[in-house]
Amino acid sequence: MANPHTTPAPIPHGSYEPRHDPHSLTSNPDSSKNSSSGVDYEPHPSSSVKVSPEHEKIVKAITNLYSGSASEEDMSVYAAESVYDDPWSFCDTRYKIAGQWYGIPKLMASSKTLETEIISDNPYEIIFKLRQEYTPRVLHFSKPVNSLITLTLDQEGKVKYHKDQWNQKDYSHEGLGKVMKTLNGDHLTKVTRPPRDL
pLDDT band of 187, cuts 50, 70, 90: confident
Burial of 115 (C-beta count, 10 Å sphere; 0-12/13-18/19+): middle
Predicted pLDDT of residue 70: 92
- pLDDT exceeds 90 at position 176: no
Asked if residue 21 has pLDDT above 90, the reply is no
> Mean pLDDT of all residues in the chain?
85
Residue closest to 114 by CA, chosen among 159, 75, 66: 66
pLDDT value of residue 19:
74
- pLDDT value, residue 190: 86
pLDDT computed for residue 81 by the predictor:
95
* 3-state SS, one letter per residue, for the chain: CCCCCCCCCCCCCCCCCCCCCHHHHHCCCCHHHCCCCCCCCCCCHHHCCCCCHHHHHHHHHHHHHHCCCCCHHHHCCEEEEEEEECCCCEECCHHHHHHHHCCHHHHEEEEEEEEEEEEEEECCEEEEEEEEEEEECCCCCCEEEEEEEEEEECCCCCEEEEEEECCCCCCCCCHHHHHHHHHHHHHCHHHHCCCCCC
C-alpha span between 106 and 186 (Å, rounded): 18
Phi, psi of 154 (to 5 degrees): -90, -175
**pLDDT band for position 13 (50/70/90)?**
very low
Mean pLDDT of 33-37: 66
Q: Is it the case that residue 111 has pLDDT exceeding 60?
A: yes
